[in-house]
Structure 1
């Protein structure tokens, strides 16, 4: 993993990472959240129509 840390007065202020690494981290977070919801019995996911709307696939 290549990363660049930007500092402010010697303290880390931001980290730059490869866009694919960010996508992988977001996928891992989504999976962990899903598994946590399953473990406590919270319904996972969103209604089908809401998913379509978020993706811009609303029915006309």
Structure 2
């Protein structure tokens, strides 16, 4: 299997070497306490940058 970043074009905010572990995988404990990347603390921003995939249902 090829790494995802070799077959999909990342968002502009990811391209300038911003793809760090804290952006790629949320530390939900930090998010719960209001810390961590804005992408995970702001629900509107999170869902603008997150795409549901088959096999999971999301209730809004």
TM range (shorter): under 0.3
Q: Considering fraction of residues, name the structure with more helix.
A: 1
State the TM-score, normalized to the length of structure 2: 0.22
Greater Rg by CA? 1
Give TM-score scaled by structure 1 length: 0.22
Structure with more of its chain in strand, by fraction: 1
